[in-house]
Amino acid sequence: MIDMAKTFSGSYAPFAGQVLIVASRFNQLVVESLVAGARDCLIRHGIEGDDIDLAWVPGAAELPLAAKASISTGRYSAVICLGAVIRGSTSHYDVVVSNMASGILTTSLDTGTPVIMGVLTTDTIEQALERAGTKAGNKGFDAALAALEMRSVLDQIVKG
């Protein structure tokens, strides 16, 4: 073990307050599986179903605004953004991905609240399906784990 004055390390323990899943309807078939994976993860780790809200937005580009508006209510301890941007079906893939990713990052930094990017960015629908509960795990589940860990480590750091 490395010797430090203090070490903060997040757990997956349930946190106080509510969590919002913001999901994009574009490629909804895939995104619904991500939502189910995220909810499953939160419930398995002790978050009450009544504390998990869900908001649908049109596409991945709209995720940051919904995340920011939800945090400004003061109700949410963490926000999980879920979506699927698939290169095969869009010519402006790079623009959508870069706006979405920088918007989520900025929202997280501006608000001091964990805003987790659980958005698949793939070349094909097959690759997206593989990461949404088939061959290659479920990115929604992974995003919810990251939300639990970040809320926990931020709470520890703030407490000192």
| Separation CA 69–CA 140 (nearest Å) | 21
Question: Which are the catalytic amino acids?
Answer: 92
Q: How far is the CB of 147 from ligand INI (least distance, A)?
A: 20
**CB neighbours of 34 closer than 8 A, spacing ≥ 6?**
23, 82, 83, 84, 118, 120, 132, 133, 138, 139, 140, 143
Contact stretch for ligand INI (CB under 6 A) within 9-17, 21-29, 71-79, 134-142: 21-29
Q: Residue 125 or 153: which CB sits closer to ligand INI?
A: 125
**121 near ligand INI, judged by CB under 6 A:** no
Which of residues 61, 81, 145, 150 is near ligand INI by CB under 6 A? 61
Long-range (24+ apart) CB contacts under 8 A made by 42-48 are 42/144, 42/147, 42/148, 45/12, 45/13, 45/14, 45/144, 45/145, 45/148, 46/13, 46/14, 47/14, 47/15, 47/19, 48/14
Which of residues 10, 37, 64, 83 is near ligand INI by CB under 6 A? 83
Q: Residue 63 or 144: which CB sits closer to ligand INI?
A: 63
Which of residues 86, 101, 132, 150 is near ligand INI by CB under 6 A? 86
Which of residues 18, 24, 108, 152 is near ligand INI by CB under 6 A? 24
What residues make contact with ligand INI under the rule CB under 6 A? Answer: 24, 26-27, 58-62, 83-86, 89-90, 96
